[in-house]
Structure 1
Amino acid sequence: MRSILIAVIDNPGPQTGTELYQQLLSLADWQVAKDCQVQVEHLPCVFKQSLTALEQLITNCKPAYLLLINQCRSKVDIQVEKVALNINDASEPDNNQQQPRDSLTAQHGPAAYFSNLPLSAIVDALQNHALPARLSYSAGTFVANHLFYGLMHYIKHQNTSLHGGLIQVPLTPAQACKFPGAASMSTSLVLEAIKLTISISLAHSDSMLRSTG
């Protein structure tokens, strides 16, 4: 049985809430394939602590795929992130009032890692389903990028069979109304995007196995 882990990153600051996480819990009942089980968890918006929590989730869930989901009020579309940078440079405090500036996630790690998901195929599928999505080459320098880099560093050194990546999405309408000018996206569209991402990732993996079999 393959496990697919969806890890939703908590929002920073006063808009911290569990609306998206609560909506995505329905994915646990989704039968994407006979040999797959979807699990949905959340991660704190806190530097370092979030990485400890992420590694604990990986140990407990033993996923074959791990998809980080982050809401960001500066996003106007679905961003499928390609590059995780080895830098923490927070323009605001995290939820433990930490605000690292120009520091590293991994002291002896490379400058960047790339996601090992089939990103172009994912973006094509999202766009073909009329979802506003694009490939992004900058995940920022806040907690989402910190987790993304930490995940890819873990994959490189401890679990090369794990596939992982980060998708960033706009706020929900209920959240965006508190920030004049902020874009929004319904949780139903985010849910559809995540389902497509998982389906394409599994199909790509299965086709690779068949071609090498």
Structure 2
Amino acid sequence: MILLTGFEPFGGQPINPSWAAALSARDLLRAEGQVVEAVELPCIFGVAGNVLRNALDELEPELVVCVGQAGGRGRVSLERVAINCDDAPIPDNAGNQPVDRPVVPGGPAAYFTSLPVKAALLAVEEAGIPAEVSQTAGTYVCNHTFYALMHELASRSAVRGGFVHVPFAPDQVERGSGAPSLTVHLMAEAIAAVVRTSLSHFSGAARPFDLSLPADVALAAGSLH
């Protein structure tokens, strides 16, 4: 079982392409014979994590890929790390605007993704889709959800998961603004590539994930700033 998530619209936007892309990726993967479910998360601190946790309990997935919108970025961003910090520059959809609060009080400062982001980067780029390994998922609801996911998966050793940010969809960008965007179709293809790569790296016949397989490939994909 594979779980994909996306978010409802926020920040005054009429759509959130992360949800449309998650749905489209679900359909692509189902057509290939995979068992996949998609869940829309509210853009609300705390509530998003609770909805995700309930989905984990109900569906018992072996792989989880959460997707969020990062307007202004021009590439599909494979997030490497979630930090234990909520610091909202704008209110969420319930009007909450936490500042310098932990996602999980007493939790670790950060969690690394358990997805093979370097191998996934290669797969997405080979599909002709601009991509990057990102060193920050921000401090808004996306990072909050990413951290909540990895905190939950810390006690579910057979489950892998991580977070992917997608750019604006073309419909969200004013003509002539120069703001980067990507079609939902290409976003979905990228998410599907991340899923396929993760399964090929971790799936084994005896158990959901064969930990004897290499976790990732050695590839320079860091940043100078």
TM over 0.5: yes
Q: In the alignment, which residue of structure 2 is the partner of 1:132? A: 130
Of residues 59, 72, 92 in structure 1, which corresponds to 2:90? 92
Deviations 1:104-143 (A, max 9, x none): 0011111100000111100111122221111111110000
Which segment is superposed worse, 124-133 or 140-149?
124-133
- Report the equivalent of 1:196: 193
Structure with more helix by fraction: 1
* Counterpart residue type for residue 209 of structure 1: D
State which of 145, 152, 155 in structure 2 corresponds to 1:154.
152
TM norm structure 1: 0.89
Equivalent residue, structure 2, for 1:66 = 64
CA shift digits 1:126-180 (9 cap, x unpaired): 12222111111111000000000000000113x1211110000101101122894
Offset at residue 20 of structure 1 (A): 4.9
Instruction: Show the 5 A alignment for 1:41-190.
Output: 41-157=39-155, 159-177=156-174, 180-190=177-187
The alpha-carbon deviation at position 200 of structure 1 amounts to 0.4
**Cα distance between partner residues in 1 of 2:18 and 2:127:** 21
Any conservation in 1 of the 2:6–2:41 contact (CA below 8 Å)? yes
Closer/same/farther in 2, CA of residues 210 and 23 from structure 1, 3 Å limit: closer
CA distance in 2, matches of 1:123, 1:51: 26
8 Å CA contact retained: 1:171, 1:185: yes
Question: Contact 2:84/2:108 (CA < 8 Å) preserved in 1?
Answer: yes
Does residue 14 of the first structure (1) align with residue 15 of the second (2)? no
Q: RMSD across aligned C-alpha pairs, in angstroms? A: 2.1
Change (3 A) 1:81 1:13: same
Q: Identity of paired residues, percent?
A: 33
Residues 4, 37 of structure 1: 8 Å contact kept: yes
